[in-house]
Structure 1
Amino acid sequence: MSNWLISLEGTQAGHNAALILAVSAAILHALFGALQKGRHDPWLSRAAIDICYGLIALPFALFVVPWPEPHMWPIFAGAWAIHVAYKVLQAMTYTRGAYTVVYPVVRGTGPLFTVIVAGIVFHEHYAPLQWLGVALLTSAIFGLAVYNLRHLTVNRDRLIPALGFAVATGALVAAYTTYDAWGIRATADPFTFLAWFFLIDSFAMPLFSARRLAAVPRSDLGPLFKRGLLGAVVAFFSFGSIMLATRLDRVGEAAVLRETSTVFAALIGWLVLKEKVGLVRALLMGLIALGAVVMEMAG
């Protein structure tokens, strides 16, 4: 499968596959964010997810995929550091703001930074209409932030810090998207990168949340780790899809298209988490998705 996937790089079939993978990642990432924001403390949810996907990744890393080349270990160390910072900021964001408020800002800020950084790192160039798509997406994000600042009444005293953490988290999204795209291109087998990434990435959050995990009543451990197992499966397919998309096609386009996740996040927040979205916020989230679509279609 690895050889077949690599053969698609730089082809129209590879572009089409990257498109499907990026949209799949969008749907799955919205679900993943809801799982972390849902019933349990986001720190606990993330720790449970990481424990589960580390255990799942272990046999694949050791016995299924080829072992990483020596030059990959420093790359894994860098990826680990960036993802730890991202997950800490993400947990701090979710503990301060409603999911439908902070999620679009996190996911929408990331593509703007990613497109700029990918242009520098990978020498990607975009048409004027594609930049219009990015501008639509970014304008909708900041419009959403302004609307929330003016109209939200619940936890208003925590809204400004939540939005600040959301923007910072979006910057880390851009950092890990670009860095990991470079990392997955640096190894011969992309599945080697994915298996070892998940294994290495699984240690930090359980250690950071050790006291919280120890305080969880035994009766709550089952539901927590059921959520963790589901989140782990979603994470494999979500992160794996977007990383494979960045190997097959341009990093910036894949990153922007993934942010159609805001539409799915709005639906999850409304239908599952019972959060009020409202017409204006729903329209702004839709404009974020429209910007992503324009970016892709104009390419």
Structure 2
Amino acid sequence: MPASAAVHARRARAAVRRRTTSGTRRGKRSLRDRGPPPPACPIHVFPPALMEQRFVLLVLLCALLHAVWNALLHASEDRVAQLGTMSVPYLLAGAAGALALPPPPAPAWPYVAASALLELGYCAALLRAYRSGDFSRIYPIARGLSPLTVCALALIALGERPTPFALAGIALVSLGIASLALRRGLRWSGESVPYALVTGLFIAAYSVVDGRGVRLAGDPLAYVAWVYLLWNAPQFALICRLRGWRALARSRAAVSRGLAAGVLSLAAYAIAIAAYRHLPVATVSALRETSSIFAIAIGWFALRERPSARRLAACALVVAGAMLIRM
């Protein structure tokens, strides 16, 4: 090939390379000028409305499970032994959480200890209330008094004024509890009623303590794990000392019912925690109050309790009022 032809060929190839390079650069600049690509649309396995309906149903299941494990405890022939075996699932869950998660920070530990003590008091009051009271009377009193007391504590301690809905709910709950707890002449309707009221106070107290303690702990699972340990370890040890380890293990009914009740209680708590991530807190709290309705049905059909029309109306007032307070 002549020298001139070779020179022309090299020049032509160089020109082609320059045009290709400049085009690529212009393409990159144009892409930069356009900005980042739009984010991809999220793909939902279930539509949001359907997901919300599913969690509403799960919260109702949570309320049912709570009523069921309380009914199992009420129907037990040896409630103390059953409460001891109920502690086993809590101890296992607490130990697993304490080993897997970092401990709560120092400011949260007083609340952990206070919550554990209040849970112990709650269990003692609940056992005494179930000794002679009807399940369909005791359970709604204890559950209904809790939101009423929390609302009062928030007003006194935090200065939070109740909304008009809450005021209406307070009136309904007060009327319903008075109808359940009192007879004519302002006498108690049963010797277990005062213990049911104390149980409701314990529920309100540990609810307020836990609300503050979880915020200080940062990780709610670590907080709950240590509460489980500090609450159930002494409770289990005390019941084993009262009943004896061997006698407790030989009570097959107490063991089976206690383990089942403990698992149901843990499942109800897990469902509530999951629901708080997908539904408003007020919605979850209000739906959980339907457990009193399930308690009446369980008392009627499973425990052969025949509630009067007055008791049914009073329970309806408690449930409706508790829902209004939570709104």
**Superposition TM-score tier, normalisation by shorter sequence:** 0.7 to 0.9
Match of 1:110 in 2: 146
Match of 1:83 in 2: 119
| Structure 1 residue 88, shift from structure 2 partner | 1.0
Higher relative contact order (CA 8 A, sep 6+): 1
Contact 2:148 2:322 in 1 (8 A): no
Identity %: 27
| Structure 1 residue 177, shift from structure 2 partner | 0.9
State yes or no: 1:50 paired with 2:87. Answer: yes
Q: Which runs of 5+ in 2 are unaligned?
A: 1-51
- Number of residues paired by the alignment? 276
Take 2:214 and 2:56, find their aligned partners in 1: how far apart are those partners?
Answer: 18
Q: Which runs of 5+ in 1 are unaligned?
A: 1-14, 153-158
Q: Which amino acid aligns with 1:283?
A: A
| Structure 1 residue 263, shift from structure 2 partner | 0.6
Take 1:208 and 1:115, find their aligned partners in 2: how far apart are those partners?
Answer: 34
- Relative to 1, partners in 2 of residues 1:148 and 1:18: Cα closer, same or farther, differing over 3 Å? farther
Match of 1:36 in 2: 73
Match of 2:209 in 1: 179
RMSD: 3.4
Contact 1:21 1:244 in 2 (8 A): no
Take 1:283 and 1:131, find their aligned partners in 2: how far apart are those partners?
Answer: 20
Cα deviations across residues 100-137 of structure 1 (Å, max 9, x unaligned)?
Answer: 22111111112110111134455544321331022112
Secondary structure in 2 aligned to 1:129? Answer: helix
Take 1:17 and 1:133, find their aligned partners in 2: how far apart are those partners?
Answer: 27
Q: Which amino acid aligns with 1:31?
A: V
| Structure 1 residue 139, shift from structure 2 partner | 0.8
The higher radius of gyration belongs to: 2
Take 1:200 and 1:17, find their aligned partners in 2: how far apart are those partners?
Answer: 34
Take 1:16 and 1:190, find their aligned partners in 2: how far apart are those partners?
Answer: 25
Match of 2:297 in 1: 267
Take 2:55 and 2:62, find their aligned partners in 1: how far apart are those partners?
Answer: 10
Q: Which amino acid aligns with 2:124?
A: V
Instruction: Please give the TM-score of this superposition, normalised by the length of structure 1.
Output: 0.78
Match of 1:3 in 2: none
Matches within 5 A, 1:214-233: 214=244, 220-233=250-263
Secondary structure in 2 aligned to 1:229? Answer: helix
- Relative to 1, partners in 2 of residues 1:78 and 1:217: Cα closer, same or farther, differing over 3 Å? closer
Contact 1:113 1:174 in 2 (8 A): yes
Contact 1:260 1:292 in 2 (8 A): no
- Relative to 1, partners in 2 of residues 1:101 and 1:42: Cα closer, same or farther, differing over 3 Å? same
Match of 1:237 in 2: 267
Take 2:71 and 2:262, find their aligned partners in 1: how far apart are those partners?
Answer: 13
Cα deviations across residues 3-52 of structure 1 (Å, max 9, x unaligned)?
Answer: xxxxxxxxxxxx99997776554333212211211223222221110123
Matches within 5 A, 1:45-194: 45-63=82-100, 65-121=101-157, 124-146=160-182, 160-194=190-224
Instruction: Please give the TM-score of this superposition, normalised by the length of structure 2.
Output: 0.72
Contact 1:52 1:228 in 2 (8 A): no
